[in-house]
Chain A
Amino acid sequence: DQQVKQNSPSLSVQEGRISILNCDYTNSMFDYFLWYKKYPAEGPTFLISISSIKDKNEDGRFTVFLNKSAKHLSLHIVPSQPGDSAVYFCAARDDTDKLIFGTGTRLQVFP
């Protein structure tokens, strides 16, 4: 049973607009959440994270929101740029330090 879910396999957004990527989880013991970005034939690169004791973390164009009661987090990218086109993975860390990943959302930013 998937503990971390990304229900949208793909998202297409116009350049300059907001991209919103969503992630749901089931395990209330997760203490840390992370977003990774992945280009083809490369390893994922860390983007932004949030502790379970916070509800928002911002880094430049990227903001992550956490709603613990709904077990939901989202990544906002504003403004979206063509270079943001990639696969985005949501991940959650459990109390043994394991990182559990979602299935990914492919973001395409078009001009």
Chain B
Amino acid sequence: DVKVTQSSRYLVKRTGEKVFLECVQDMDHENMFWYRQDPGLGLRLIYFSYDVKMKEKGDIPEGYSVSREKKERFSLILESASTNQTSMYLCASSFHTGGASEAFFGQGTRLTVV
């Protein structure tokens, strides 16, 4: 059974703090994703990684960076948290292209920046 685990369900951080969101998957997936979900805006892709140390910007990378030093772990970093980064953050993973490679999601991290 595929498992994608996000390190925290809820986080409250102060403006200006550096924030780390961690995601681990146990299915040897090549691809990993970070999305944020906001009301009326759906799921927006922040960053995507298709291999260790490889990353691609998504639609809204500003204010974020990522790290993928190991295949199973993908970290999202908020360099200096701001209130407009208050959101639900969702990590996902999938196999490389080839047939029914649906993405599996973690349970989400609700981040509040005060």
Interface residues, chain A, with chain B CB atoms under 8 Å away? 6, 9, 31-32, 34, 36, 41-46, 49, 89, 91, 93, 95-104
**Is there an interface contact between B43 and A42, defined as CB atoms closer than 8 Å?**
no
Q: CA A49 – CA B104 in complex, angstroms?
A: 13
B68 to chain A, nearest CB (A): 14
**B17 in the interface (beta carbon within 8 A):** no
**Is there an interface contact between B110 and A97, defined as CB atoms closer than 8 Å?**
no
Which of B35, B43, B58, B90 has the most A CB atoms < 10 Å from its CB? B43
Q: CA A45 – CA B92 in complex, angstroms?
A: 11
Q: CA A19 – CA B35 in complex, angstroms?
A: 27
Q: CA A93 – CA B103 in complex, angstroms?
A: 10
Interface of B is mostly: strand
Q: Give the residues in chain A near B58, CB-CB below 8 Å.
A: 98
Q: Give the residues in chain A near B103, CB-CB below 8 Å.
A: 34, 46, 91, 99
* Known contacts A46-B104, A97-B94: A89-B43 contact under CB 8 Å: yes
Q: Give the residues in chain B near A98, CB-CB below 8 Å.
A: 33, 45, 48, 56, 58
With both beta carbons as reference points, the residue of chain A lying nearest to B35 in the complex is identified as A101
**Is there an interface contact between A43 and B56, defined as CB atoms closer than 8 Å?**
no
Q: CA A36 – CA B90 in complex, angstroms?
A: 13
With both beta carbons as reference points, the residue of chain A lying nearest to B9 in the complex is identified as A41
Q: CA A89 – CA B44 in complex, angstroms?
A: 12
Q: Give the residues in chain B near A89, CB-CB below 8 Å.
A: 42-43
**Is there an interface contact between B42 and A101, defined as CB atoms closer than 8 Å?**
yes
**Is there an interface contact between A97 and B50, defined as CB atoms closer than 8 Å?**
yes
**B69 in the interface (beta carbon within 8 A):** no
With both beta carbons as reference points, the residue of chain A lying nearest to B109 in the complex is identified as A43
**Is there an interface contact between A43 and B90, defined as CB atoms closer than 8 Å?**
yes
Contact residues of B between 34 and 86, Cβ < 8 Å to A: 35, 40-45, 48, 50, 56, 58
A42 to chain B, nearest CB (A): 6
Q: CA A36 – CA B104 in complex, angstroms?
A: 10
